[in-house]
Structure 1
Amino acid sequence: MSLAPRAVLVHRTTEYEELVSHHGTHGQAAFFLSSRGRDIEEVAERHHRARRAIAEVTAAIPLTWRQARVERADLDRFLFAPEDVVVVVGQDGLVANVAKYLSGQPVLGIDTEPGRNPGILVRHRPAQAAALLRAAALGTAADELTMVEAVADDTQRLVALNEIYLGAAGHQTARYRLGLEGDGGVVEAQASSGVLVGTGTGATGWVRSVWQERGGGLRLPGPTEDRLLWFVREAWPSPVTGTSLTAGELPAPSRLRLTVESERLIAFGDGMETDAVELTWGQTVDVGICRERLRLVG
């Protein structure tokens, strides 16, 4: 007998909840915001809108299904199961935050603030949740979004939906050797503020901003395309460091290889610096397309 599907509702603490937790009361939080020219009523309304969306989505879950809830800060301690249907209620970035913990489970993105969020990954409204849940349970076709991974020589592995950053903590000068794995080509010693490797989904965010600064010479990949873009940020020329390898495409199965020449570098994905892989002098890390993909319904 197979298990009934489990709807896992993913959300994050609202700004209002964080303010009240920090300052103790609504009134003290209101005073703090007013001293900075902000009105707590706008923050509170956004909080209530998010909570109404969560309540509406929860009510749409079929009675025969199991349910679970997880806050963003607890994702690294939550165990997803193969039969889960993941419902992300919030911002686009929350879908990216959960993607690295999944292994093929369908994801529904519910936008709590249409018009405020781009809606690239949270494509639906709370009122659509019931139909989307039924469709996900029936295995309705989903977009298979390309992800990026970094694998270190000590088996540490990092997966991201948008991009992976490799560099120094605090974005100070990172020293390393950079080249393409196994192509017998140029390997260059560099000093820079880090290397960014991004997907087509990431091409709507951080990767796009770097791409625009470089003049848009490379074609941006699509979200489902097996191709990444990589950029070296602020490479510094010196007698022992070069600037000839600063951007490029990374089609499957190519890998970008970085060998650490600093005491400590880190790699983190999708802006989650608190969940970083640490790398020390002499270690190598390969970055390329991940075998897993994010299954985004609708």
Structure 2
Amino acid sequence: MSAQTRNFVKMHGLGNDFVIFDGRRDGFALEPAAAAAVADRHFGVGCDQVITLLPSARADLYMRIQNPDGSEAGACGNATRCVANLIFDADGGERMTIETKNGVLPCRREADGRITVDMGAPKLEWREIPLARAMDTLDVEFTIQSPAGFTLAAPVAVNMGNPHAVFFVANADAIDLAAVGPMIEHDPLFPERVNVSVAEVKNRELIRLRVWERGAGITLACGSAACAVTVAATRRGIIDGHATVIMDGGALDMRWAEDGHVLMTGPAALSFRGAWALHGGGR
């Protein structure tokens, strides 16, 4: 690595892709504009989130998550699996802890090579989402009509380190998420913006899920959204606390365990390694 470049690793979890920098030795950090430049798919490396590994006094490392618009996210399940897989491959071992803005997440490698992450307990009170006013998060008083004329209404609100609005629909693939996603993300009801999920329950053990991520747009997979839909469907009585969640990029096995924590199991893959030319905004 020269003074003008910074090494990175490109990884993905079910197509949800990340550029990962290691700042554990020198505290390397990217300003929001620099993170957005890295994430740009035309002029940068291209990714759904930029990840920086930093030292932690509470866990094996701290994971900073920046969206393509430079804003920070509190949690990312797919990125957590990728980072755990990266560290397991580099250092050996099958268990570790990763600190995020949402807390410390225990991770382990399963016998089949997949990674399980304990994503913690969901937050379900309206102030914890947060919502702009008091209401029942199991049946949020919200209705929106898309430019194409379809209506989404009465989502379940869940916070899994970031806010989620889960809409249960008859056909998830029929929803024009690119049109309605940004409308919901920026609605005043969600003062910190919101991740938008449309979920189709196939049966009590299978859910089809599509996601518009806050600050990122449509992604092939979203681990925290898979957690949120598992919690939301269980609260609605549609599933029995566990399900396979099928997203555009593939499947995650999800469980809302008896201790209240949500467990996510899925793959992580290395795409390539490279070096990013620093043009300012990195330190």
TM-score normalized with structure 1 length: 0.25
Larger-Rg structure: 1
Higher helix share: 1
Task: Compute the TM-score of the two structures, normalised by the length of structure 2.
Answer: 0.26
